[in-house]
Chain A
Amino acid sequence: MLTFLARRLPSVALMLVVTALIAFLLPRLGGGDPAQVVAGPDATLAQVEAVREQLGLDRPVLVQFGDWAGRIVTGDFGTSLISNRPVAQLIASRLSSTMELAIAATLLMIVMGLGLGILAGSVRKGGSRAAIDGTLSVLLATPPHVTGLILILILGISWRLLPISGEVSVFDDPVTGLTYLILPAFALALPQAAMIARLIQARMSQVREEDFVDLAKAKGVPPRRIAISHVLRNSLGTAVIVTGVRVGEILAGAVVIEAIFARQGLGTLAVSAIQSRDYEVVQIIVLFAVVIAVVVHFLSEILLAALDPRIRLDS
């Protein structure tokens, strides 16, 4: 296990460093002189220079990067240039909305992905097989924002079943909160669930060809038992790893889904921060999203390695 970790750590570290670098450079890429922004539009050249020195912007970029990364690691996320509030506070105020959505979507993704995958991998009759394959292809090809808009049109407008705009915290009012959560969570989860289902399906038909399945059949193991403890058990590894990768996509998809469903989460915070050029906020959100994506991915790899000795021993 340790050698496995040692092998995977460099690429995880590389990804984190690159992300940190991009996040650090964002305000600089965004154009505009941060010193000028802080000093205000009427500042004299001398004042701007004073601010520049005060913020440490006159030092080499690499030193600034080290400084910035050091502050981030110690939990100092800086201050919004627009609202003058600490970025950590801004993020905390929006966090619960996005977490509710992300957790609901992830659970839905896992449940539906497993269910559809096992269904698709087990059904082998012509007609129903084609129907499931077709459904999966359509779900897979339709990204969350389009799925979300279609759900709005059907369930929100045509049938008026569910609310399509705004949110109520699940903690304040569980039932109403959930009705607001259903559509956005489904929109986020459906394409990812289809992806997981596809992989489980492919893996299951692959495993079914393996020798040990033939052996089990020859020994007279009942078909149901073969399906569960031989085929399914050996097919779930892929699902674990893909689930890890997909969590990042759910977080990114939340940006658009929050905008469509008018939820006040981190995504809408990021968008309004970009539009008002509040890059201090943008950089932390970008960092936040990618770090979570990378860490969850890494954790799922560790989980898979723990489950499957072939992976951790394969050098």
Chain B
Amino acid sequence: MTIQDTDIPRRRAFLSEGLRRYLAAFRTPRGLIGGGLLAIMCLAALLAPVVFPGAVDAQSRDSFLGPSLTHPFGTDELGRDIFIRCIYALRISISLVIVAVPIAMVIGTLMGLAGAISPALGDAFQRLFDIILGFPSLILGICIVVAIGPGWIALAVTIAIFSLPQFGRLARGALLTEEGREYVLAARVLGVGKRKIMTRHILPNAMDPILVQASLAMIGGIFAEAALSIVGLGIQPPTPSLGTLLNVGIRYVYVQPMYTAGPIILLLLLALAFNLISDALNAAVMKTRND
């Protein structure tokens, strides 16, 4: 560590310290429940092929059985176990948001911070965000599905593009407020380079709201998959995803209500888990801000 480094007034210079704050969020009750719930669902999705080998497509003559111990959610029109198909469906929901949201987070943040390098570029990106937000969300999804063709990739692109503006705006907001702060001015006076000011001072301050937003964007992504797949523009049956299950399930809602209720329960559990996590992150971040 050089002398110059210690002399610059700065907040949370070490990544490890920042990380520790975020991890502390998972030790609060909300973070623990949300994180635990998510961990259980991730594990179930990951281990499903090992625990229930081949069961996802295993048909039987027992169609539309009611919920029982062997089939917690009953069976569908082809006698397949709805519970196991729901667990498999988690693989699609979780994989989509785990890939799409972080990509959107990185690109969106960079686009938001672009204003520091070139104001014109920064403004152009903000215009782009306005346009994306101006599109009703599903209409944008429809355009992307037409361009790419329905499937996992189109859904990931839709989720990423739709999450982009929120990250971009948060990053730009942080840039504009932090740029004028005294400690940034002080760093600049001391001759710290533009890049270092960006990575050491502005980015860490922007990260707090962006991470909270990422957790919320995951909820949006999970619901978006369901919406597009329900109408038949997302994942295509017979692949089980929460949306495709609902797409078929709603047709049999009178004979097998669990066909609709099962995926809904998992959708709500996923949303609850991410909501609790974002709450816990938010509380942890606010706490250190106020200290």
Contacts and interface: CB of A to CB of B under 8 A. Distances in A.
Contacts of B142: 255, 270, 274, 282, 286
B146 A282 contact: yes
Interface stretch (B167-175, B249-257, B280-288): B249-257
Interface stretch (A23-31, A85-93, A119-127): A23-31
Contacts of A22: 143
Interface stretch (A52-60, A128-136, A143-151, A212-220): A143-151
B134 A256 contact: no
Interface string A229-263: 00000000000000000001101110110011000
B264 A253 contact: no
Interface in A247-290: 248-249, 251-253, 255-256, 259-260, 267, 270-271, 274-275, 279, 282, 286, 289-290
Nearest to B137: A252
Given A145-B227, A149-B260, 14 more contacts: A11-B127, A26-B143, A31-B149, A150-B264, A152-B260, A157-B253, A248-B134, A255-B138, A255-B142, A259-B231, A271-B231, A274-B142, A289-B136, A290-B134
A189 interface: no
A163 to B, nearest CB: 12
7 contacts: A31-B149, A142-B268, A152-B253, A253-B136, A256-B230, A259-B231, A259-B232
A36 to B, nearest CB: 17
A29 B147 CA distance: 5
Contact of A164 (B130, B134, B147, B253): B253
B91 to A, nearest CB: 20
Given A157-B253, A252-B136, A252-B137, A29 B146 contact: yes
Given A255-B142, A282-B146, A286-B139, A153 B261 contact: yes
A195 interface: no
Contact of B146 (A18, A26, A293): A26
B219 interface: yes
Nearest to A272: B232
B147 A30 contact: yes
A141 interface: yes
Contacts of A61: none
Interface centre among A156, A255, A279, A290 (most CB of B within 10 A): A255
Interface string B53-94: 000000000000000000000000000000000000000000
A286 B257 contact: no
A53 B271 CA distance: 53
Contacts of B138: 252-253, 255-256
A18 B257 CA distance: 43
Contacts of A152: 250, 253, 260
B32 to A, nearest CB: 20
Please tell me the size bucket of the interface on A.
Answer: 35 or more
Interface residues of B, number: 35
A45 interface: no
A30 B145 CA distance: 9
A43 interface: no
Contacts of A104: none
Contacts of A259: 230-232
B230 A30 contact: no
B223 interface: yes
Given A31-B149, A152-B260, A271 B250 contact: no
Contacts of A289: 136, 139
A313 interface: no
Interface in B186-208: none
A226 interface: no
A274 B226 contact: no
Nearest to B257: A157
Contacts of B143: 22, 26, 29, 286
B130 A11 contact: yes
B267 interface: yes
A149 B229 CA distance: 14
A15 B131 CA distance: 6
Interface string A195-218: 000000000000000000000000
Contacts of A19: 135
Interface centre among A142, A146, A251 (most CB of B within 10 A): A146
A168 interface: no
A145 B268 CA distance: 12
Contacts of B105: none
Contact of A251 (B130, B136, B271): B136
A143 B227 contact: yes
B130 to A, nearest CB: 7
B189 to A, nearest CB: 34
Given A251-B136, A270-B142, A153 B253 contact: yes
Contacts of A286: 139, 142-143
Given A141-B271, A145-B226, A157-B257, A14 B127 contact: yes
A279 B146 contact: yes
Contact of A153 (B136, B223, B227, B260): B260
B275 interface: yes
Nearest to B145: A274
B159 interface: no
A261 to B, nearest CB: 9
A289 B139 CA distance: 8
Interface string B108-152: 000000000000000000010011001111110011011101000
Given A30-B146, A153-B261, A274-B142, A256 B231 contact: yes
A149 B257 contact: no
